[in-house]
Structure 1
Amino acid sequence: MRLHDERVAGDGLITIGGLARDCGLTPSALRFYDDCGLLVPVRVDAVTGYRYYSKAQVDRGVMIRRLRGIGMPLEVVSEILNGDGARAQRLLDEHVAELAQRAREAAAVARVIKAEIGAGVVLSAAVLAAAIEQVRAAAARDREIPVLAGVLMESNADSVTLTATDRYRLSTRAMVPVRPSGGAWSVVVDAGELGVIGSWLRGSAEVSVRATDAGLVFTGDGSERRCGIIDAVFPDYRAMLAGLGAVRTRVVVRRDVLLTALDEGAAAPVVCSVDGSGLFVTCDRQLGHDSPSHTDPLSGRRRIPAAVTGPDIELAFSPKTLRPALVSAIGPEIMLDITATDTPVVVRSATDGELTTLVMPTAITDSKEYGA
């Protein structure tokens, strides 16, 4: 069958486009192989620079394509095309053996990577145990809304984050993994079950955590623990944090001193008044003489030394909400970021931003019922 005119020169030679179609190569590849000396045109037009090939070169072009398709280096392709049959077969056998060895090595690496991915994210057991205790205190005690009795655990390439909220308080802490996992995941687990895991973690150095359909799996020191998943959507706490207004008043105070002003288990709201001279707390408990704070005998207000920036403000808190937030806070000094009397107060360490807790104030009028 006669070739089409655009593929054949006047003397029966094939144009570069025609050879490209017959060999399954591109014209640019043929020009490259010309430059390499692997497939040199029979003739190159001196005026136009067009390359022309003989029909006999089609087989050579196909052979080049097939050899390059199995990853054969150019210099070895040249030896196979230009050498004797026995040497060509030996070179092919050596190349296939090398490919097989590389495939075995790649498979071994893949197995290691898959094992690491399957092992989950690796964390310091001590850090995770502390984070669990700090955050799960903010989970709801009742199960009226099941998801609020859980802790959201999220893992990505950079961090692992624990978050809990009972609607009146929210705690969230991010941790940097010892070794991150290969994929991101997010699950809600029962706060009580997670507390048991926290106690077990204290006997380990490192722990890997992976999410499965059945729950979270914790592995450390040759043993394993599991924690069931609460199948519900956790509140969008990031939107809650992003929606907080600008900080108007900031208080930096010693955590232990503030804790001494709060009755453990008391029901009456605690009124906190802030002005330029410090923090004043009004509650039922009388402080001991060894406390750095001072009680006004007439008003019953206790002055607690604090660094205050911003306008004066007065808020009230339920001790059952405020005290656990202070107990779980990180560091000797805490920072209270206050926006308004009816928006959450942000409680965090004055020097370490890993743990953030939101505490919702109660209405000031509620405290009057207790004679404050």
Structure 2
Amino acid sequence: MRSIGEMARDSGLGVSALRFYGRAGVLVPAWVDPVSGYRWYGPEQLEEARLLARLRGAGMPLADIRLVLAGWSSADTDLVRKLLQAHLCRLERGLSDARSEFSAVRALLERRENSVTLLRTAAVRLAVSAPELAAALDAVRFAASADPELPMLGGVLFDIEGDALYVVATDRYRMAVARTETTGHGGSRVRVIVPVPLADAMRALLSGEERVELVVDCDRVTLATGGRKAAGQCLDHDFPDYRRLVRLPAGRRALVDVPAFQEAVKTGPVRASEVRKPDEDVSCDLSVLKVTADGEVTVCEDGDDDQNHVAVNREFLLHALAAGARDQLILEFGAPTAPLAIRRPDTEDTFSILMPVRLEN
């Protein structure tokens, strides 16, 4: 018999992934200690675990993997071959369709690039309160991406329009937006992506109560205060149209006491969910949330599978609650597949949204 740690080491599946597959009924341990709950696997299950890792690497759905493993254990090679061939055909059709769609998107992108020319003839200068800009950066920094394959998300968007400065960050799975007032510009819209290291350097300067100067000159941005400055090149990319992404339908709102809710999330039950990345299986802990009839938000126990519950990455939820920087926050729930919005009670202009995670049945 192999322990779950030994099984993870020998099969290439992580411990959390093995727990997930056990709960999903795909690779159930041969024996579970009734006292400690520790999982043990039989010798023949190592081959099944290695097969499972390869099938998931190929993107096969869990429902089909169950059938493949059943055919594998019963030596039904015809069934296994048919399932493998059917999945391969789906992948080839999907790749063909994706190529066609990407060709169309590239054509649209080329037309857009040829028709849009950005001209900035003079530097944009504006003044902003140091505490307000510091609070805005603190409210969004947690959502910035660290994925090298998505360089356009590896920065903080400064979106200047009129007397407002919107600060935005996203990594696709979460987004945060904060607004602060400015003076000195009052003109047309200007957008620049400030690299995360430069945004962090700017934040380090914002320790006083004075107003600071922000200058955008072509592809360079500078923050100056008290004889000190942080300056650098902007990212030469297009940031997603966040205004379109945050137009959420009205949902159920619940006011939560943040310290108590954070403790409930930290200590409450979680479920494992796989996050697919090339060449690796990553499992994240999910908190499944529901709103009771009296408007209280609770963390669901395992087995409470009402279709109206919303599952979100627990770590992301805790980051968003901390970034909200209030003792009370509003959680806004839409449909189970709609983003969860986390808002401050005193303003609609500073908020974050978390993408829900679909639970495997």
Q: Same fold (TM over 0.5)?
A: yes
1:317 maps to 2:312:
yes
1:161 maps to 2:181:
no
Larger Cα Rg: Structure 1 or Structure 2?
1
290, 299, 302: which is aligned to 1:281?
Answer: 299
142, 145, 151: which is aligned to 1:140?
Answer: 145
1:120 CA displacement:
1.0
319, 339, 342: which is aligned to 2:337?
Answer: 342
> Partners of 1:231 and 1:144 in 2: how far apart?
14
354, 357, 363: which is aligned to 2:349?
Answer: 354
Normalized against structure 1, the TM-score is what?
0.55
Matched residue SS, 1:313? coil
Matched residue SS, 2:182? coil
The Cα offsets for residues 153-200 of structure 1, whole Å up to 9 and x where unpaired, read as: 011222011011111111111111144455542101112320121011
1:282 CA displacement:
4.0
242, 258, 272: which is aligned to 1:237?
Answer: 242
2:178–2:349 CA contact under 8 A, matched in 1: yes
The Cα offsets for residues 76-133 of structure 1, whole Å up to 9 and x where unpaired, read as: xxxxxxxxxxxxxxxxxxxxxxxxxxxxxxxxxxxxxxxxx85711001111112112
> Partners of 2:334 and 2:124 in 1: how far apart?
43
CA RMSD after TM alignment: 2.6
The Cα offsets for residues 325-365 of structure 1, whole Å up to 9 and x where unpaired, read as: 11111422111111111111111012222312111111233
255, 261, 273: which is aligned to 2:258?
Answer: 255
The Cα offsets for residues 42-90 of structure 1, whole Å up to 9 and x where unpaired, read as: xxxxxxxxxxxxxxxxxxxxxxxxxxxxxxxxxxxxxxxxxxxxxxxxx
Where does residue 191 of structure 1 map in the other structure? 196
Say if 1:165 and 1:119 are closer, same or farther in 2 by CA, change over 3 A.
closer
Higher mean C-alpha displacement, 211-220 vs 180-189: 180-189
> Partners of 1:179 and 1:259 in 2: how far apart?
40
Q: Give the number of equivalent residue pairs.
A: 223
Alignment of 1:108-127 (within 5 A): 120-127=125-132
Q: Which has the higher strand share?
A: 2
1:223 maps to 2:240:
no
1:231 CA displacement:
0.6
144, 155, 158: which is aligned to 1:150?
Answer: 155
Please list every run of 5 or more consecutive structure 1 residues that lacks an aligned counterpart in the other structure: 1-116, 284-298, 302-310, 367-372
Matched residue SS, 2:342? strand
Where does residue 31 of structure 1 map in the other structure? none
The one-letter code of the counterpart of 2:299 is V
The Cα offsets for residues 134-168 of structure 1, whole Å up to 9 and x where unpaired, read as: 11211112222001111110112220110111111
Matched residue SS, 1:202? coil
> Partners of 1:123 and 1:199 in 2: how far apart?
15
Please list every run of 5 or more consecutive structure 2 residues that lacks an aligned counterpart in the other structure: 1-121, 271-283
Normalized against structure 2, the TM-score is what?
0.57
Say if 1:252 and 1:354 are closer, same or farther in 2 by CA, change over 3 A.
same
1:271–1:364 CA contact under 8 A, matched in 2: no
1:210 CA displacement:
1.1
Say if 1:269 and 1:255 are closer, same or farther in 2 by CA, change over 3 A.
same
Where does residue 201 of structure 1 map in the other structure? 206
Matched residue SS, 1:257? helix
> Partners of 1:175 and 1:329 in 2: how far apart?
15
Where does residue 176 of structure 2 map in the other structure? 171
The one-letter code of the counterpart of 2:250 is A
The one-letter code of the counterpart of 1:349 is R
The one-letter code of the counterpart of 2:257 is R
> Partners of 2:320 and 2:211 in 1: how far apart?
27
> Partners of 1:313 and 1:251 in 2: how far apart?
15
Alignment of 1:78-89 (within 5 A): none
1:228 CA displacement:
2.4
225, 234, 246: which is aligned to 2:250?
Answer: 246
> Partners of 1:118 and 1:365 in 2: how far apart?
52
1:157–1:184 CA contact under 8 A, matched in 2: yes
1:258 CA displacement:
1.2
1:274–1:313 CA contact under 8 A, matched in 2: no
> Partners of 1:256 and 1:227 in 2: how far apart?
38
